[in-house]
């Protein structure tokens, strides 16, 4: 009898799926390094294109059903090259939150990349993000357009971490050959309480050194926004959260850009 009980305990301990780890445990299963893999797909899909169509989606957080509906709606289209998740994948930085959204977004027919949001840094969320998605700052080229994706969640780092990272931005500025247009993307926009507003104007000025900046993108505010924060003709365009069941569809052409709000 003792042997049977002992054998049962061993089976229980060995069955990983039966064990509930701490919610902030960063032991992961399933796909990791998603951004790097999908950037390679995006660059291949968009190679040689002078017209691009991409989607900016907002904070998914706890809105899993709405995010699933987004994926189903987008999969019915055949005119989108890729998707950008603007950050706040999770609500509390819990490992399972990242994995739930990862598995939902993994059903997209087109590649996507995800930015780091301020909620994604809570708990051990930063560690999970780095494993599941990759670097906090990254860039990619789609056709002749360079997308510069930046961590701007300064408040969560107590200003002890370079957010925004000017060294990253400067290095990216040196790598714009063949890209006459740049699209800066961030989670938190300048002058929001989460942004390091001591450097807001310097941040914007450095962005404008990139070629062909016509607009900047962000999420975070959970509402649709189009604001000229620096009164220089460059709008900061923000998307709503997934709870509102809409996304922004951008079309870039050699002559300019346009976008629309798409409800699903």
- Domain ranges in the chain? 24-263
Task: Classify each residue of 65-93 as buried b or exposed e, where b means 16 or more C-beta atoms within 10 Å of its C-beta.
Answer: ebbbebbeebeeeeebbbbbbbbbbbbeb
Residue carrying structure tokens 């709503």: 240
Write down the pLDDT at residue 22: 59
Looking only at the bridges linking them, the beta strands covering 52-57 and 82-85 are: parallel
Q: State how far the Cα of 85 lies from the Cα of 55, in Å rounded to an integer.
A: 8
Q: State how far the Cα of 216 lies from the Cα of 30, in Å rounded to an integer.
A: 33
Q: Left (φ > 0), alpha (ψ -120 to 50) or beta: where does 87 sit?
A: left
For residue 3, give Cα distances in angstroms to 18, 85, 162.
Answer: 21, 52, 57
Largest CA distance in the chain: 79
Write down the pLDDT at residue 259: 98
pTM assigned to the model:
0.91
Q: Left (φ > 0), alpha (ψ -120 to 50) or beta: where does 159 sit?
A: left
How many Cα atoms sit within 13 Å of 98 on the Cβ side?
A: 37
User: Are 214 and 257 in contact, with CB atoms under 8 Å apart?
Assistant: yes
Question: CATH 3.40.50.720: does it fit domain 24-263?
Answer: no
Going residue by residue through the chain, which has 264 residues, state the pLDDT in tens, using 9 for 90 and above. Answer: 545 444 444 444 444 444 445 566 667 889 999 999 999 999 999 999 999 999 999 999 999 999 999 999 999 999 999 999 999 999 999 999 999 999 999 999 999 999 999 999 999 999 999 999 999 999 999 999 999 999 999 999 887 799 999 999 999 999 999 999 999 999 999 999 999 999 999 999 999 999 999 999 999 999 999 999 999 999 999 999 999 999 999 999 999 999 999 999
Write down the pLDDT at residue 158: 82
């Amino acid at each position: 009898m003792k042997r049977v009980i002992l054998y049962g305990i061993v089976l229980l301990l060995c069955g990983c799926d039966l064990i509930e780890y701490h919610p902030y445990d960063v032991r992961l299963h399933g796909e990791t390094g998603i951004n790097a893999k999908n950037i390679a797909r995006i660059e291949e899909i968009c190679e040689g294109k002078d017209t691009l169509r991409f989607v900016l989606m907002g904070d998914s957080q706890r809105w899993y059903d709405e995010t699933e509906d987004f994926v189903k709606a987008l999969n019915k289209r055949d005119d989108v090259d890729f998707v950008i998740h603007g950050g706040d994948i999770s609500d509390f930085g819990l490992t399972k939150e990242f994995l739930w959204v990862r598995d939902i977004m993994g059903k997209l027919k087109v590649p996507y990349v995800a930015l780091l949001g301020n909620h994604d840094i809570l708990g051990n969320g930063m560690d999970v993000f780095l494993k599941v998605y990759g670097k906090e700052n990254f860039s990619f080229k789609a056709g002749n357009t360079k997308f510069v994706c930046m961590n701007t969640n300064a408040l969560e780092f107590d200003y002890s971490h370079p957010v925004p990272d000017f060294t990253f931005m400067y290095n990216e500025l040196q790598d714009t050959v063949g890209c006459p247009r740049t699209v800066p993307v961030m989670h938190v926009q300048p002058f929001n309480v989460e942004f390091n507003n001591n450097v807001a104007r310097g941040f914007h000025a450095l962005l404008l050194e990139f070629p062909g900046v016509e607009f900047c993108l962000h999420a975070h505010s959970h509402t649709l926004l189009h604001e000229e924060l620096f009164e220089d003709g460059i709008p900061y365009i923000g998307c709503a959260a997934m709870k509102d069941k809409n996304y922004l569809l951008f079309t870039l052409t050699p002559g300019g850009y346009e976008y629309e709000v798409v409800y699903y």
